[in-house]
Chain A
Amino acid sequence: MTDAAATTQNVGGARSLLYHVILCGVSLVMLYPLLWMLASSFKPDDEIFGNASLWPDSFTLDAYIRGWSGLTVSFGTFFWNSLVIAVLSVIGNVISCSLAAYAFARLKFPLKNFWFALMLGTLMLPYHVTLIPQYVLFLNLDWVNTFLPLVVPKFLAADAFFIFLLYQFFRGIPRELDEAAIIDGAGPWRIFWSVMLPLSVPALATAAIFTFIWTWDDFFGPLIYLNDASQYTVQLGLRTFVDSTGKSDWSALFAMSVVALIPVLLFFGVFQRLLIEGIATTGLKG
């Protein structure tokens, strides 16, 4: 990839080196907290806060073993719960948000601007004040203490961020492509499926990545809706190690925080390939 890119983009050797120096410098600042977390996970608790050095005076893997055993259930259960919720959320979000985004971007229908404004409006209210009414709603649906309050809204495009994101990308796709398809006799569903989606792979990948990461990192939803330890997600599990008012297990927290990053990085690693696809590689043009 380097060679081909170097020729097309005309990046010379010295210049490329300069880029690497800059990027490495930036990366270091980005990497530091992770290194700190990693270092802290190997330290005994009494060295974590008083000692700023990244290298532990003594080195122990205890925290990983202690941490993994979790509460009554092991951290493995938390990982499984998080994974189920995150994967379902990705599927739900990508499908439902792209449908709505297509409607807003390309179709004409009555009340469109009205709905669009309301859709954006849902982004604007701080969630702290809708939390209780929403809790009462889910309680009445008998959904509390299940994954449903965390997953069902994703299938109903509840996060307007993604509708708006895909909407912007859909509007960036040349309209001639739709028109060509219409002449071929295609209806909205076929245009959506065979024109819009293939041309929006980077945007859809972005939506998938963000959904996965944000769902994985979310703790407020699980905090409110999940009661039993057997249903806790990773983020909730992490919050049982440390209590700022009493005796805490910091090294176990950091050990499990490091482990918790692995699925996210894996997901990111796999899906980021799709980010760089798009019109550039599908070879379509307007």
Chain B
Amino acid sequence: MCLAVPGRVLDIEERDGTRMANVDFGGVVKEVCLEYLPDLQVGEYAIVHVGFALQRLDEESAKQTLELFATLGMLQEEFGDPWEMAAEAGGTLPPEGEGARL
């Protein structure tokens, strides 16, 4: 959760009066709120933390960071199944009906 990951804006739309985007994190696409970077445009990169774009990042830095995170397995830590990871850490089976219910 502490991690903030660079991502590239794929498209932008208003939803419930809020500026939202689909953002690509090295292959994983997530919905991201742009209210804190309202002038961010499609194709630009930003540092995203828990679904919010917090600061613009240049393309080269963003790509280098994503490459590094992928190598270190940190993208899996950030976007993998949290129940499975918690179960693994605890050495137990995940509770029934697992997987994020969203």
A binds B: no
